[in-house]
Amino acid sequence: MKVTLIDFQEEKLDELREYCNDAQAEYGKRGKQQIISLTAPTGAGKTILMSALIESVMCGNEKYVAQPDSVFIWLSDMPDLNEQSKQKIMDETENSIGYGNFVTIKDEEFDQEILNDGVVYFLNTQKLGINSNLTKKGGGDKRQFTIWQTLQNTIREKGNRLYLIIDEAHRGSSKQTDIEKANTIMQKFIKGSEDDGLDRLPMVIGMSATIERFNKLVAGITSATTRSCEIEAKDVIESGLLKDNIEIEYPAPGQSERVMTMLQLATREWIHKCEHWQKHHERNGGEEVNPIFTIQVENKGNDSYSVSDLDECLRVIESELGRKLERGEVVHSFGNPQTEIKINNLIVPYLEASRIQDSDEVKIVFFKESLSTGWDCPRAETMMSFRVATDYTYIAQLVGRIVRTPLHRRIEDDVTLNDVHLFLPRFDEETVKKVVASLRSEGVASGVSTSRGGDKEYQTLYVAEDKRDVLEWINSMGLLTYVMSSSKISSYLNSVYKLANLIKNETPDKTVKRNLTKEIVNIMCSYVEKLQASGAYEEKIKSFDEYIVNGGSLAYLRSEEMEGRGSRIWRTLDYDIEREYKLADHKLAQGEIATDYLAVASEHYDIMECEKQVVLFVNNCLDELESYAKERFKELKKNYRKVLTTRNEVVTTKYERIVKQNPNPESTWKLHEPFILPKGEVAYKHHLFVDANGEATFNFTSGWESKLLEAEFAREDFVCWIRNVEGRQAPLTLIRKEGKQEKKFIPDFIVIRKENGSYTFNILEPHRANEADNYSKAEAMVNYAKKESQVDDIELIRIERDDKIVRLDFNDEDVIEEMAHVNDNAQLTALFKKMNE
């Protein structure tokens, strides 16, 4: 696979591969149909996951032997969708499977007795109607075999390696009659068809956005073994594969016909997105994103392509853009006509929906309904619809296609790039609610926020101009923070090599990976030397050549126990030894480890014996190797965290993807503008990020926070403050212990002071004495102070009844010494009293 799977995708791939292995074994033994369902919300990467599964089955991995003679049929109800899926799978697996092994079954040319080994076939239900050439024998094209005969022959000859993948997940806004027709044809594959002489397909894998959809498709089947694999929405959201939010704009009551004004606002939002993506690229490099503005217009009028005024649309857009649009920048995807048209004197060519994403020059797309199916376009970040409110299901299906993040990750240095905007001039509050409900039914997992007439629930803040140097100073520090993660590293060996590769590619140190491999090779050599010293080496090597076959005899119906009849020894074939070596090589995670070991060991042994040594090591020493890799991983993470997380966002993201599987991994905290937070009711000054009035608004749960801020504002060394809270950006996060669990702890305030001409960074946490987590937060602050030396004061704060502010600074030597004897909340309260007398 070209793409690196996200953690949850890796986990689900292992689950699906195990299901396939079990299904194949059960079908081979009992001849019973096997059904596997994969349900996952929009954006989970179902096609990518299936690509990896196909590759895993055909090419094998560290757990399963390759099955290159497997046959796959990819079935959907749309030709365009099939081609898009085919292209995506081909691109991902071209280095392992090869383009020539992907075939679209076309009625005008396909005529085979049986499907070929090692091929992935793509078929859509529209080619399987009663009038289709594929389903008719003879006729004008002299067809020898119907598609049903081809399938039946393949079931008979290759049933134990024939997989049917039903892509039911991407179905869009087809008419109900079309859906029912497609379901009927799909059910022929699943349930068999006596009229067509077709048995059930033996192994079926169904992809669907919701479990209800697939259950409806397989309803009534009782004699099959079913297995379910489900991806939860929270896993997709946490991965960064989806936009964080869907921002929906709609008019106030009585303004539903002011469509061009809404178009003007939508155009500004699109231009804003273009500018922000350009700045992001200039800062970080990497893949460039060119946002697309999609405009859904009404159906055809009496003498026009659409009831919507297309000419005026283009005039509004060009007015906001400040220039004339050029040929190729604007396209249409109208079903009719599928030719170029003229809009406001600009030639606008027709472009198939499936080609939009990869057409970099395209900036604006006019469409009607065609984009709701068979379409995947993460570049489409702004959408405007002229449709009336009754079309809310179309809108929901469209949004489901554009919520994917263009770079397959969350953007940390500009949170506005984590949103997709939807402008609905002909909707009201009630119909927008229907859109939101439809989004959920379509399996869209992003958050949805709505606004009317431009009023936002959030405040968008920018750094105060006289404090810009403060922002730059904070970000240059590379301050420690923690990213909570529910997943754990399954292989430290894999992770340490990924980290070593990143260090090699992104830092001047080019020796880390080479030294890592050299150390592991030395460990393997030491293992062989120990075997020889113990006298066990020859026996273990000999065991490779001996294939021991145990036998027994059971007196059928006369005895409950089998009588042993001894063992026989056969010579192991070189092929099997070579296969064991390849499996061991997979488990070492990096081919170069085994290759480098062979280069060293072959000076003293023949190659076959060296390969046996690799297998012995893997079978007996993986735990020891994992322990070594874990320690080296921690060491590299500690030594290179700051340099890898302060270069640019691309490198930071790569680093965090490697380390985030580690429970509560260390990361680097950075601040970015705009700073987007929920809007409050009380305005405060001196915040690092402010609005046009030089203020930021907040709601605090008690009076403590305001009293503390007043005290800080009054200090001579005070510079500014930051509300450290979860919003559209990650807050500075500590880790506290609660029993055996580790939980995140977000201190309330960051305060910047100035001492002897230099800024100081201070963490303040006001907290009531009666809260049960006082001691765990104090302990967390002590541990953080030990690890992050750049923080000046790190204070737990209480305000007493006489409004006296009392503090414990966990960078104070006396407090640190006393904390060694504090074990609970009562002792912590006593320490507050002692240190503030």
Q: Each residue of 538-574: pLDDT tens digit?
A: 988 888 777 655 655 443 333 445 555 455 676 777 7
Structure tokens at 10: 């890796």
Look at 96-100, 136-140, 438-442, 593-597 and tell me which has the smallest mean pLDDT. Answer: 438-442
Q: Which long-range contacts (CB under 8 A, 24 or more apart) does 305-312 make?
A: 305/332, 305/334, 305/337, 305/341, 306/334, 306/366, 306/368, 308/259, 308/386, 309/260, 310/343, 310/344, 310/366, 311/343, 311/344, 312/260, 312/344
| For range 408-425, the mean pLDDT | 83
pLDDT top residue among 482 and 792: 792
Contact partners, residue 369, CB within 8 Å, separation at least 6: 173, 335, 394
pLDDT for residue 552: 53
- CA-to-CA distance for 385 and 395, rounded, in angstroms? 8
| For range 591-597, the mean pLDDT | 82
Residue type, 261: T
- CA-to-CA distance for 294 and 266, rounded, in angstroms? 10
The top-scoring range by mean pLDDT among 132-141, 619-628, 743-752 is 743-752
Classify burial at 564, counting beta carbons within 10 Å of its beta carbon; exposed 0-12, middle 13-18, buried 19 or more. exposed
Residue pLDDT, tens place only, 25-50: 999 998 999 999 998 877 788 889 99
Does the pLDDT value for residue 135 go beyond 80?
yes
| For range 810-837, the mean pLDDT | 91
pLDDT for residue 81: 75
Structure tokens at 594: 């085994």
| For range 387-408, the mean pLDDT | 72
Average pLDDT, rounded, for the chain:
83
Residues of the chain with pLDDT > 90, as a percent, come to 36
**Continuous H helices in 492-606:** 492-506, 512-534, 537-545, 574-587, 591-601
The top-scoring range by mean pLDDT among 163-172, 219-228, 693-702, 820-829 is 820-829
* Sheet (strand 102-104) strand order: 102-104, 120-124, 71-76, 162-167, 203-208, 34-39, 225-230
Does the pLDDT value for residue 390 go beyond 80?
no
| For range 606-610, the mean pLDDT | 90
pLDDT for residue 178: 47
The sign of the CA dihedral 129, 133, 137, 139 is positive
Does the pLDDT value for residue 291 go beyond 90?
yes
Does the pLDDT value for residue 138 go beyond 70?
no
The model's pTM is 0.65
* Sheet (strand 245-250) strand order: 330-332, 364-367, 292-296, 380-385, 419-423, 245-250, 447-452
Contact partners, residue 415, CB within 8 Å, separation at least 6: 244, 672, 674, 676, 728, 729
pLDDT for residue 177: 44
CB 266 within 8 A of CB 423: yes
Does the pLDDT value for residue 501 go beyond 70?
yes
pLDDT for residue 491: 78
pLDDT for residue 119: 96
| For range 339-364, the mean pLDDT | 90
Look at 69-83, 129-143, 599-613 and tell me which has the smallest mean pLDDT. Answer: 129-143
pLDDT for residue 441: 55
Residues of the chain with pLDDT > 70, as a percent, come to 87
Q: Residue 456: which pLDDT band, with cuts at 50, 70 and 90?
A: very low
CB 717 within 8 A of CB 754: yes
pLDDT top residue among 592 and 275: 275
The top-scoring range by mean pLDDT among 95-104, 255-264, 309-318, 399-408 is 309-318
| For range 751-774, the mean pLDDT | 92
CB 121 within 8 A of CB 73: yes
Cα–Cα nearest to 430, from 256, 296, 174, 297: 256
| For range 597-622, the mean pLDDT | 90
Q: Residue 616: which pLDDT band, with cuts at 50, 70 and 90?
A: very high
pLDDT for residue 573: 73
pLDDT for residue 78: 75
Residue type, 568: R
Residue pLDDT, tens place only, 458-483: 787 888 888 989 998 998 888 998 87
pLDDT for residue 444: 56
pLDDT top residue among 94 and 140: 94
Instruction: Return the SS3 of 455.
Output: coil
Q: Which long-range contacts (CB under 8 A, 24 or more apart) does 752-755 make?
A: 752/470, 752/474, 752/688, 752/719, 752/720, 752/721, 752/722, 753/715, 753/717, 753/718, 753/719, 753/792, 754/717, 754/719, 755/717, 755/792
Beta bridge partners of 245: 419, 447
pLDDT for residue 127: 83
Does the pLDDT value for residue 513 go beyond 60?
yes
Does the pLDDT value for residue 102 go beyond 70?
yes
